[in-house]
Structure 1
Amino acid sequence: MKRRVMLLDIGRESKRMRKFLVTGRTFALLSFCSMIFFVLLGVAGMAHQQTTASPVNSMKGFAAAVSSGFFGDMLEMEMPAFQSSQTEEPFTAKQISSLLMRALTDINPGDPKSLLAGELPGMSVNDAFLIRKGVGTDTAVGPEDNAPITYDPIGGLHEGAGTDISNDHGNEPEQSPAATDEPDDTGSTGGEEGGKGEPLKPTTGGSKAVFIYHSHNRESWYPELADQSKDPNSKTKNITLVGKRLAQKLEENGVGAQHSNTDYPTAIPKYRWELSYKYSMKTVKEAIASSKDLKFFFDLHRDSQKRKYTTIDIDGKSYAQVYFIIGHKNPNWEKNEAFATKIHEALEKKYPGISRGIWGKTAASGNAEYNQSLASDSVLIEVGGVDNTLEESYRTADALAEVISSIYWADEKVSADKGKAS
């Protein structure tokens, strides 16, 4: 009898053990499956984020990298009602291999540094990606923004820790020569009296509509430096001269312009190049606070690319080409891109080839905001490169002034027409 009871107890314990083991295996299996699910979910999220940010995998980046004829044919396949007027161009093996390489590995065949950037800390890769293509734009060659090797010694700087750029520390924003005409009685823009029988030339009068500044104000050009130094930066002969020229030409076209030539390395105690946009942001905010009439904002730079990538001959004259930069850290970057597109397309019409397109930048290797969240009509413009001359840059400034003033007056007309309609 005792033996039977003992056997029954052993049987019950065995059943409980088997049940426990089955339950444990089920729990372990569920835990493992849950872990795999969340790992896959995280990987999918990372992949989606990378795909969204990558110019190669984005529709705009793809459209910019292939020919207009090829992209038009793709649209025709999806939308029968759409008829492309572009002639189909061959999709080269170079384009195919470049797209596949960048999509699968993030390695840009046109930029050898990208092979090592993932392994060597501190090696920055140019993360600029093409949003809108210009005539003759090489998709493998984008703008480069290299930090200066060194700056000229700054005498008399006290050892302060702040980053204040108040009027005690630098130059005042420079006012371009203003038009002499006063606004008319209605409060709208007045005009300059033309010749006999000619229409009045529009003008903003004494108000300033455009603000021009330079986050990297000492960017210069090798041909303009007497010592041909390794670092093309100068305290006196630099990109601020191009900004001044642009402001003057805008004024000649009736558009009031304000130009800031603040020398930040001198103005900022313990100046740090990587904080350039923090310093210039304060400049822009002060300008906005001081004038409610400002509408367009331009941060002019000199690019670091070589001459063959930054120069175009138009009607026998050489011009410094321009890159338009849009920061994708700005949540409303599409509005800034739309503004840049107006200028880009107007330049392409009047000066084919002078624009190397509109490029986007992420926070991977740059500021990625560029003060563009302060105004929708704000854009960073790279004018020429290290091997261009001041004369070539001046010609480009004249071209920019021509199209910018045309856009400004067209916008003003639209606003006036809307006011009359309401």
Structure 2
Amino acid sequence: MKRMNASTDWPLLRAKFRKILITGRAFFLLSASSMALFVLLGLGGLLQNKLAVSPVQSMKGMAASLSGQFFQSLLAMEMPHMEASTDSPFETGRMASFLLRFMTDVNPDNPKSLLSLELPGMDRDRSVLLRPGTGAPEAPEDHGPLTEEGLTADHGDPAESQDPDRFPETEPGKEPSASPEPSGGEDKPSPDEEPSTEGRKIAFIYHSHNRESYYPELKEGTKDPNSSKINVTLVGKRLAGQLEKRGIGAVHSPKDYPTSVQGYNWNYSYKYSLQTVRQAMADNEDLKLFFDIHRDSQRRAKTTATIKDKDYAQVYFIIGHRNPNWRENEDFANRIHERLEKQYPGLSRGVWGKTAANGNGEYNQSVAPGSVLIEIGGVDNTLEECYRTADALAKVISEIYWNDEKAIEAAAPQK
């Protein structure tokens, strides 16, 4: 009887053993396939980081092209108490725009891109949206100074009838005198409430295009919004002063390159300003933050935000992709952008990347991870509006800096 039972059970044992082998093989194949997939994804990410000059083909480029509603829907799948939107999370226009740009490098929002692939020089200022800001994704525009006959040598200095106390006369290349406090400025911190770098210079503010100015501050009828006296250097000086008031040592360079550089050529602006940055670093070894302050060329409707009944000059953050470490600079700019949008909704137009296909594409940003180009306002903004924005930037930048310092102190080993 025992032999019969053993012979009867053997086929059953074989079947169970075969089933175990089949299940194990399937498990092994699934595990091996999953591992291979993750390895390929990792290698693809590393390869993309090495080869992608512009993030239009990166995950950040894709994320910037998707709506916040899309990510909200994804979170709602995992979080039961989070309400998912009943509308479609995909914005057809933005997705189609991203896919077309990804595959053809043609930007449907900019008809000029249809010709830029064939006509050299047309895409020198081509921009890629990295982090969306307020409103439609409108790219910043840069234009050099006009050279038409009839323009004054100073490119439209203030009219003599303007208040001399507001814009004192200065010689070209000299730092303008301090401007009076604009109405509606940001709250000023008390020295007793703020930490201090104790004399160490941490931030450096400079201007590669130092003569960029604003039509409302220039002589009526001026065609070229550039001035040797009343220009974006005043905004940079304001930013440096506000950082100092918040305990961060700052150095400001109002250097006028057209008068200080022999044989000046506007196309070499970043070459000249790089020498300024290197000299500043040699003089102040504690410098960590570098801000190249510009003015955008777009008109008022695209460069102005009204926040709590006050007009502010909106800002663009520009990242150069020729810098091999541009992702570090982009992360720094995004931290400023996000905090700025949280405290001053509508002030930032986003973080944009300039490709290295043409133009400069580096913007001196390889000198430090904390280096970023910021465009404050457009040709139709006033200095008062730009000062408000400079105050807001100083507040946000100082908060980020001191939070980082606290984190470093907390992580340091206790003696």
The letter of the residue matching 2:91 is: T
1:363 alignment partner, one of 356, 359, 365: 356
Asked if the contact 2:54–2:321 (Cα under 8 Å) also holds between the matched residues in 1, the reply is: no
Residue equivalent to 1:319: 312
SS in 1 for 2:271: helix
Q: Does 2:290 correspond to 1:297?
A: yes
Q: State the alpha-carbon separation in 2 of the partners of residues 55 and 415 from structure 1.
A: 30
Deviation, 1:85, is 7.2
Q: State the alpha-carbon separation in 1 of the partners of residues 330 and 341 from structure 2.
A: 16
Q: State the alpha-carbon separation in 1 of the partners of residues 82 and 50 from structure 2.
A: 31
Q: State the alpha-carbon separation in 1 of the partners of residues 397 and 49 from structure 2.
A: 36
User: Residues 103-141 of structure 1: CA distance to partner in whole angstroms, max 9, x if unpaired?
Assistant: 34322222121222233344336421111122x2422x1
2:136 alignment partner, one of 135, 138, 163: 138
Asked if the contact 1:206–1:256 (Cα under 8 Å) also holds between the matched residues in 2, the reply is: yes
Residue equivalent to 2:334: 341
Q: Does 2:198 correspond to 1:201?
A: no
SS in 1 for 2:351: strand
Deviation, 1:76, is 8.2
Q: State the alpha-carbon separation in 2 of the partners of residues 378 and 346 from structure 1.
A: 17
Asked if the contact 1:298–1:380 (Cα under 8 Å) also holds between the matched residues in 2, the reply is: yes
The letter of the residue matching 1:65 is: S
Q: State the alpha-carbon separation in 2 of the partners of residues 239 and 193 from structure 1.
A: 27
1:203–1:104 Cα change, 3 Å: closer
Query: Percent of pairs identical after alignment?
Result: 55
Residue equivalent to 1:108: 107
SS in 2 for 1:269: coil
Q: State the alpha-carbon separation in 2 of the partners of residues 334 and 118 from structure 1.
A: 26
Stretches of structure 2 lacking an aligned partner (at least 5 in a row): 1-47, 155-171, 179-188
Residue equivalent to 1:405: 398
Q: State the alpha-carbon separation in 1 of the partners of residues 118 and 205 from structure 2.
A: 39
Deviation, 1:171, is 5.6
Q: State the alpha-carbon separation in 2 of the partners of residues 365 and 353 from structure 1.
A: 31
Deviation, 1:206, is 2.2
1:331–1:105 Cα change, 3 Å: closer
1:51–1:410 Cα change, 3 Å: closer
Q: State the alpha-carbon separation in 2 of the partners of residues 417 and 104 from structure 1.
A: 46
Residue equivalent to 2:62: 62
Q: Does 2:119 correspond to 1:148?
A: no
1:51–1:292 Cα change, 3 Å: closer
Residue equivalent to 1:385: 378
Residue equivalent to 1:129: 128
Deviation, 1:236, is 0.5
Deviation, 1:270, is 0.7
The letter of the residue matching 2:144 is: A
Deviation, 1:207, is 2.1
- Equivalent residue runs for 1:17-416 within 5 Å: 52-53=52-53, 55-71=55-71, 73=73, 87=85, 90-124=89-123, 126-134=125-133, 136-139=134-137, 141-150=138-147, 153=153, 194=192, 200-416=193-409
Deviation, 1:388, is 1.2
Deviation, 1:256, is 1.3
1:204–1:84 Cα change, 3 Å: same
SS in 2 for 1:278: helix
The letter of the residue matching 1:148 is: P
User: Residues 330-373 of structure 1: CA distance to partner in whole angstroms, max 9, x if unpaired?
Assistant: 11111111111221111111101111111111112321111111
User: Residues 276-335 of structure 1: CA distance to partner in whole angstroms, max 9, x if unpaired?
Assistant: 111111111111111122121100000112222211110001111111111111111111
Q: State the alpha-carbon separation in 2 of the partners of residues 53 and 414 from structure 1.
A: 32
Q: State the alpha-carbon separation in 2 of the partners of residues 374 and 347 from structure 1.
A: 24
The letter of the residue matching 1:285 is: R
Deviation, 1:395, is 0.5
Q: State the alpha-carbon separation in 1 of the partners of residues 191 and 98 from structure 2.
A: 56
1:192–1:96 Cα change, 3 Å: closer
Deviation, 1:242, is 0.1
Q: State the alpha-carbon separation in 2 of the partners of residues 275 and 98 from structure 1.
A: 34
The letter of the residue matching 2:361 is: A
Structure 1 window deviating more from structure 2 (357-366 vs 55-64): it is 55-64
SS in 1 for 2:223: coil
SS in 2 for 1:209: strand
Asked if the contact 1:344–1:358 (Cα under 8 Å) also holds between the matched residues in 2, the reply is: yes
Residue equivalent to 2:33: none
1:370–1:121 Cα change, 3 Å: closer
SS in 2 for 1:123: coil
SS in 1 for 2:57: coil
TM-score (ref. length: structure 1): 0.72
Aligned residue pair count:
337
1:62–1:51 Cα change, 3 Å: farther
Q: State the alpha-carbon separation in 2 of the partners of residues 400 and 49 from structure 1.
A: 30
Asked if the contact 1:113–1:125 (Cα under 8 Å) also holds between the matched residues in 2, the reply is: no
User: Residues 234-290 of structure 1: CA distance to partner in whole angstroms, max 9, x if unpaired?
Assistant: 111100000000111111111111100000011101101111111111111111111
Q: State the alpha-carbon separation in 1 of the partners of residues 357 and 257 from structure 2.
A: 25
TM-score (ref. length: structure 2): 0.73
Stretches of structure 1 lacking an aligned partner (at least 5 in a row): 1-47, 155-169, 177-190, 195-199
Q: State the alpha-carbon separation in 2 of the partners of residues 137 and 144 from structure 1.
A: 16
Deviation, 1:204, is 1.9
Q: State the alpha-carbon separation in 1 of the partners of residues 49 and 385 from structure 2.
A: 41
